[in-house]
Amino acid sequence: MADQALTITAVSALPAALSGAHGANRAPLGTPRQIAADTDVAAISVWLAEYVSSPHTFRSYRKEAERLLVWATQWRGKAISSLAREDVLAYEAFLTNPPAAWCDDALARRGDHRRLFAGPLSDRSRRQALGILAGLFNYLVRAGYLAGSPFALQPRRLGARKASHRVERFIDRALWLDVLAQLDRWPRQTSREQQRYERARWVLRLLYETALRASEAAQAREADLYQVRGRWWLRVVGKGGIEGQIPWSDALMGDLQRYRSFLGLPAMPETGGRCPLILGIAGRGGALTPTAIYLIVKDIFGRVADDWEAGDSARAAQLRRVSTHWLRHTAASHQADDGNPIHHIQKNLRHSSIATTSIYLHAEDDARHAATTERNQRSEA
C-alpha cells in the first residue's frame, strides 16, 4: 500500500501552519463532511484512493498532486487549503519555467527529494496538469473539506474546446501499411530476432485493431476474451473505471493464436486464464507495465524510421513521434474512414461524448478539400 499513498519526505512532516489543519480555505465548522481527513496530505490521499484501480491514472494524478504540494509548501509558503486564485495563476506561470534545481538530471527518478520536472511543461501538458488539479479541488469541495475551489474562476480559454478541430496525431493508411510491410522485413535469423519480430507484430495489431490505451493493453488477460452469439469480444476497464466491450475480429484471434503458439502456449486462450495478452519478449515473466508497452511501440517505430532515414527523412521524422496513443487515434481515424458509424466508434473508444469522437472524421474534411480545390482549378482553367 506504500506505493498507493502520497509519501514525500519533504512534506511528510509539515509544520502545523502548512499542514492545512487550519487552512484559510477550509470549509466552515458545521459543513457536512464526507471524509474524515483533517490535513491536506490526508485529504489528497483519500482523493487518490479513488483511482487505485486504474494504475495509469493513479500515477498521473499523484504526480500532479505532489508537484503542487511541494510548490505550495516549499516555494509559496502556503498550505494547499490556503491557496487562492492568485496562487493558481502563479503556479501556472511556474509550470512554464520551473527553476533548474527542480529539473536537475542528477536528482533521482524515484524516492525522497526526486526530480519533479524534466523541464518546462508544454501547453498541452500544462492544461492537463491544471485540469487534474481542478478535479482534486472540486472533489475536496464536494467532500466538505474546502470552502471553495480557486480553479472555479478559471475562464474558458481559446483552444479549450477539444472537439473543434481534427486530431493530427495519427498515421494515414498508406503509411500504416508501409510500416507493416517494413516490419515484415526485419531480420529473423536468430531466436532473439524472431522473438522481437513476433512480439512487435502482435503489439501493433492488438493496439491498432482494439484502440486500447497502453494501460488497458497492459491489464488485458485471456480471461477478458469471451464469445456472444459466435462473436469474440474483449472486456476492458478503462479510464475512470468505465467498462467497455471491444469487438474482436476473427483475424485478430488468428494473430493472437499465432503469437501464443510461437511462445509455446496453447493457441486458444483459456476461459478464466490469467495469462496477459502481451508478454515479455520470450514469453516469460508476468504482465508488462504500460510504460514497457509504450517503449516497445517507440522502439518499433524508431527502428522503422532508422530504415527509412536515408530515403525519406520526412516520414522517418514523423514515425519517431509515434506513441501508443497515436495508434489509438489511428485506429479510430481508419474506422471512420471505412464508414463505421460514429456511435460505434464512440463505444469502441469508450468516449462519454460523441463530440469527442467526431475529431476522427477526416473523410468529410478530405471530401470538402477536394471539392473546393478541384472547383478552383476548373475555374482557373
pLDDT in tens, 272-327: 889 999 998 877 767 788 999 999 999 999 999 999 998 889 889 999 999 998 89
Distance, in Å, from the CA atom of 339 to the CA atom of 335, rounded to the nearest integer, reads: 7
Distance, in Å, from the CA atom of 57 to the CA atom of 274, rounded to the nearest integer, reads: 23
Q: State what percent of residues in the chain have pLDDT above 70.
A: 81
Q: Is residue 128 scored above 90 in pLDDT?
A: no
**What is the reported pLDDT for 188?**
94
**CB proximity list for 42: less than 8 A, separation 6 or greater:** none
- If one compares 354 and 64, the residue with the highest pLDDT of the two is 64
Q: What is the DSSP letter of 71?
A: I
pLDDT in tens, 41-86: 999 999 999 888 777 778 888 999 999 999 999 899 999 999 999 9
Q: Which domains does the chain have, with CATH numbers?
A: 2-160 (1.10.150.130), 173-372 (1.10.443.10)
3-state SS, residue 240: helix
CA dihedral 317, 318, 320, 325 (to 10 degrees): 170
How many other C-beta atoms lie within 10 A of the C-beta of residue 204? 20
- If one compares 1 and 144, the residue with the highest pLDDT of the two is 144
Cell 493558481 belongs to: 88
